[in-house]
Chain A
Amino acid sequence: MTRTFRSVSAIALAVAFLGGAAEAQTIKIGVNEPLTGAFAASGTYVVNGAKIAADEINAKGGILGKKIELVIEDNKSNPTEAAAVAEKLITSDKVPVLMGAWGSSLTLAVMPKLMEYETPMVVETSSSGKITTTGNPYIFRISPPSAIEAVAFKGIVDKLELKKVDFLVINNDWGRGTAEDFSKMMKEKGIAVGAVETMDQGAQDMSAQLSKLKGTDSETIIVTTAVDQLTLIFKQAAALGLKKRIITTGGSQNPDQIIAQAGAAANGTMHLTTFLPWFPDKTPNPEATNYFIAEWKKRGFDFAGCTESFRGYDGIRTVAAAIEKAGKAEPAAIKAALWDIKIKGLNGDIVFRKSGPEGKESGQSQPNVYLIEITDGKIGMKTL
């Protein structure tokens, strides 16, 4: 009996070693996303987009002769967890590079860990200005900071004849940062800024805030938050009889989901977005966009998720390009290589420019921003 037990253990051990050896043949990329909690929908979409990129790269033979392997961890929409997950990925899984962490507060919580372990991270979604201006040289961001969104929006405020706007934003670095950057731009254009209301990231009832905004003398409300809270806001605004124009920012709106869940309440709303899956021919890279959308549909995912998932796809392709350029899967080499890559993203070229204090600059790419409008349950483009 003991004998059998021993030989079984020996086999198990051997298998484990073989498994370990096989694992060393892959290049690991850490993915730190919210798969549960307030941003579960968005984080899951990003991860599914990342998997499409990984499968595409591996189908073409991988990079440096090895397959890439995504080590995906859930940061639970919680900054403390996001930092812990980053530490786990770096120290225990030994990933040389990360992608993450969706939300601005989540990314900001991870940033000290990147400094501590000298490991670079490609930031795929976060839009708080602070991320690329505080002097963290391990940050490479492919999503637009809210200031870039504000500048893009500046061109159209005259056409929209904005006079006075209120804000309703998620109460974290993302929402407050957006309210700040947009207010600054509005004031430059001579547009009055009224109330700035906030909501907790887990809040489900925004009736109190909306009742207040219903009573102000502004004609437009700028709303910044992710899709789950947005659909609740549209429904609750309709229930309160709030008839003001609503413009959302942040690129995490999934407009199709809003149409499906908020129905008629979505009509007349406008959304600043960073991808145009509805009009592949108008994107900077139609061929890749068509491939991505076809692959997304083939896997049976909800089309509404495309506006979010493309970030994961672009993020992993950015990381892979850097590893290839570096010639080895080591943090310092990948960090250096990120400065030299130029890839065609689904939303424009991904090229990192220096941002932040001299000597410890972060990388910031300049993606496109689009304004879309929902009319009669259909999505149309507004020219900026």
Chain B
Amino acid sequence: MSEFLQHLINMLVLGGTYALLGIGLTLIFGIMNVVNFTHGVLYTFGAYIMFIVVHQLGVDFFVALPLAVLAGWLLGAAIELTLLRPLRGSDIDTTMLVMIGAWIAMQSGALWIWGGVAKSVATPFPEAPLVLGPVSVSWLRLFVLAAAGMLIVVTYLLINRTKLGCAMRATFQDQDTASLMGVNVDLIYTSTFAIGSSLAAAAGALLGPVYVIFPQMGDLAAVKAFAIVILGGLGNITGAVIGGFILALAEELGAGYVSSGYRDAMGFLIIIAVLIFKPTGLFARSERVG
């Protein structure tokens, strides 16, 4: 029983970060309809910004976090302005190829600047875990869960309750009508991509200190983010959050009770099942997909 409780706690912590990865991508992939291969690189980028700001500039850990998010926002805006804007209106294959190119170029850049050897970020949290009866969890991971939860709520409110969010939804439903209603479509494109990117960087900045930081760390994160978005339904923020927790649950219980060698396979088995039986995702609303 205590082992099961421990798995559940692990699932909550892991699921929170998966959800964060998922909502960033669902904004770009689901709402903007851009197959964003740079999502993993932005995750890596956020983690390296933490490393630079904390270790090379000597800035406080909690100050570094918003700086990493801001840096992700700026890099996302730059990618949109230089790569995606000239391609707007071209077919999805062209955009996808450009994004693959950007992914490889940026990952190689990270390798060139920081080298292949993993780095770690020191945190202000105590080493001793929080012990609650039979289960324990590290303070750092609890903080990551809380921060991820906060970012998810903020993003949800931004999309559903603000004028900017309304303009975003309008733009990607019908660009021309939105434009006629006075929405600055160019600005909406740039800010949506920048917000999605900043969420990826936030996930990297939060998880980098939990694990280790290396140039290819974003690859697995990106694969999982795509899986979560497909699981939850394209463009659905609530779906991405639930999808994140489902993936974490499948991995934890799969590794704990079936076989740890196939841990990463468990989540993907669920996705295959979802694609067969409910191809629009578990929580898709049809008007968003079409």
Which A residues fall within an 8 A CB radius of B?
35-37, 40-41, 44, 74, 171, 197-200, 202-205, 207-209, 211-212, 214-215, 228, 231-232, 235, 238-241, 261, 263-265
Contact = CB atoms under 8 A, between A and B. Distances in A.
Interface in B81-134: 111, 115-118, 120, 127-129, 131
Among A171, A202, A211, find the residue whose CB has the most chain B CB atoms closer than 10 A: A211
Contacts of A199: 260, 263
Interface residues of B, number: 37
A69 to B, nearest CB: 22
Contacts of A74: 116
A212 B255 CA distance: 9
A263 B214 CA distance: 21
Contacts of A208: 7, 10, 251-252, 254-256, 260, 263
Interface string B244-260: 00000001101110011
Among A44, A197, A205, find the residue whose CB has the most chain B CB atoms closer than 10 A: A205
Nearest to B6: A211
B39 interface: no
A239 B138 contact: yes
Given A36-B116, A37-B216, A228-B212, A209 B10 contact: no
Contacts, number: 94
B211 interface: yes
Contacts of B137: 239-240
B137 to A, nearest CB: 7
Contacts of A239: 129, 136-138, 141
6 contacts: A37-B116, A41-B118, A198-B259, A212-B3, A215-B3, A231-B212
A261 B131 CA distance: 22
B136 A240 contact: yes
Contact of B261 (A44, A198, A211, A261): A198
B118 A264 contact: no
A238 B127 contact: yes
A205 B216 contact: no
**Interface SS, A side:** helix
Given A36-B216, A228-B212, A264-B127, A212 B260 contact: yes
A211 B3 contact: yes
Nearest to A175: B261
Given A215-B6, A239-B138, 19 more contacts: A35-B116, A36-B116, A36-B214, A36-B216, A40-B214, A41-B118, A199-B263, A208-B252, A208-B260, A209-B255, A209-B256, A212-B3, A214-B6, A228-B212, A238-B127, A239-B137, A240-B137, A241-B136, A263-B127
Among A197, A204, A238, find the residue whose CB has the most chain B CB atoms closer than 10 A: A204
B227 to A, nearest CB: 16
A207 B11 CA distance: 10
A40 B116 contact: yes
A267 B181 CA distance: 66
B122 to A, nearest CB: 9
A82 to B, nearest CB: 15
Among A74, A208, A238, A241, find the residue whose CB has the most chain B CB atoms closer than 10 A: A208
Contacts of A238: 127-129, 138
B249 to A, nearest CB: 11
Contacts of A36: 111, 116, 214-216
B220 interface: yes
A268 to B, nearest CB: 15
A79 to B, nearest CB: 16
Contacts of A207: 10, 14, 252
Contacts of B215: 36
B273 to A, nearest CB: 21
Contact of A211 (B111, B138, B256): B256
Interface string B7-45: 100100010000000000000000000000000000000
B127 A265 contact: yes
A106 to B, nearest CB: 15
B286 interface: no
A140 B11 CA distance: 46
B2 interface: yes
A44 B117 contact: yes
A57 to B, nearest CB: 26
Among B117, B128, B215, find the residue whose CB has the most chain A CB atoms closer than 10 A: B117
Contacts of A263: 127
Contacts of B212: 204, 228, 231-232
A252 to B, nearest CB: 14
Contacts of A203: 263-264
Contacts of B136: 239-241
A198 B255 CA distance: 9
A261 B255 CA distance: 26
Contacts of B259: 198
A212 B4 CA distance: 9
A40 B127 contact: no
Contacts of B141: 239
A200 B3 contact: no
B129 A44 contact: no
User: Lowest 3 A-B CB distances belong to which pairs?
Assistant: A36-B116, A208-B255, A239-B138
A197 B117 contact: no
B129 A241 contact: yes
A200 B263 contact: yes
A40 B256 CA distance: 29
Contacts of A205: 14, 211
Contacts of B118: 40-41, 228
